[in-house]
Amino acid sequence: MTKVVDTSMGASIPARPTARRPTTDGPRPAPGPSRPRRWRSYLASYLAISPFFVLFAVFGVFPLGIAAYLSLHTWDGIGTMHFVGFEQFHRLLEDSQFWQSLVTTIEIFAMSQAPMVVAALVAAFVLSSDRLRFRGVYQTVYFLPQVTSIVVIAIVFQSLFGGNFGMINRLLVSVGLPSVDWMASTWGANTMIALMIIWRGFGYLVIFFMAGMATIPPELYEAAELDGAGGPRKLWSITLPMMRPTIVFALLTGIVGGLQVFTEPQILGVSGTSVPGMTMMLLQYQYLGQSQSASVGADLGYASAIGWAVFALVTLASLGTLLMRRVTGHKEVI
């Protein structure tokens, strides 16, 4: 019970109750599961994701290891393999054909990926409007090149950009301009390959960006319309900031594919090592000895060194994109 203390004024003030010391007689928490039991509980999860890592090890890590081993040797694929150390990489740095193929690859990448991403963003924003009619028809038309055979696309572009009877040259001649031999010049070949990449991949990016825009809350656009914002303002202030992760993913996949461009110049007939349109992957293909029109002998060691150079370039470009996102991620677009 609480005692009453008399003060000098005669008033009775209840005294504060004394704090009780906590007892340790209560139930203790049960100990956690042992380490072997925890591993058994995680085993099902590890088994579920193990096929991905097995396939990645077989088709990703193992080929990289084989390429690293071959890059230290010189070998034509049939005769005796000779160890040369890092001589293949030293040769790579002094090879003018490799540097020319590197410049060509970067030029085609810049001419194709940047315009395609910007145009696909604008097209996806327009197609996402509720006021647009026949949206499904536009989506189908844009996506058709993605499911069309690359050989058919190459035939179409050869018909368009043919030197003598191409439709583009006929149009140029009709307006008084000289015809262009597109595959004979570096600028013409790179332009033709870049347009082919854009025409083939544009529809995929449009559908991909439309899926990302579907996750943006419509209340944001409604509030912007009440404030008097138009289409360009909504695209710049709402769509682009909310689409940043989707855009970064599209850039990463574009870097991986754009810096390894091979099919388009190969189908268009680019051959040799010093011709316009020669990319790094196509140069590696020449040294693998698989091209019947190759002007160099097979050297799997040098081809592996080129492959490692492509891998390093793709890795650096991807890391640069992720770093740019981290640096600018906290900034708001206003």
Q: Which residues contact 124 (CB under 8 A, 6 or more apart)?
A: 205, 206, 207, 209, 210, 213
Checking if the pLDDT of 98 tops 70, the result is: yes
DSSP conformation class of 227: T
Q: Mind giving me the DSSP string for 232-259?
A: HHHIIIIIHHHTHHHHHHHHHHHHHHHT
CB 70 within 8 A of CB 153: no
Q: Which pLDDT score is estimated for 62?
A: 93
pLDDT digits (tens, 9 = 90+) for 211-226: 888 888 888 888 888 8
Give the pLDDT mean for 103-129. 91
How far, in whole angstroms, is CA 23 from its chain's centroid?
Answer: 61
Q: Give the number of other CB atoms < 10 A from CB of residue 293.
A: 9
| Predicted confidence (pLDDT) per residue in 263-303, tens digit | 888 888 776 666 788 899 999 988 887 666 555 678 899 99
Task: Check whether 10 has a pLDDT greater than 50.
Answer: no
- pLDDT value, residue 333: 38
**pLDDT confidence bin for 231, thresholds 50/70/90:** confident
pLDDT at residue 29 is higher than 60: no
pLDDT of residue 331: 47
Please tell me which residue, 162 or 119, carries the higher pLDDT value: 119
Assign 3-class secondary structure to 199-235. HHHHHHHHHHHHHHHCCCCHHHHHHHHHCCCCHHHHH
Over residues 5-31, the mean pLDDT reads: 53
Between 91 and 179, residue with greater pLDDT: 91
**Residue 226: what residue type?**
L
| Domain architecture of the chain: domains with CATH | 37-83 (no CATH), 96-328 (1.10.3720.10)
Phi, psi at 8, each rounded to 5°: -70, -20
Identify which of 4-18, 76-90, 172-186 has the greatest average pLDDT. Answer: 76-90
Assessment of whether the complete model's pTM goes beyond 0.95? no
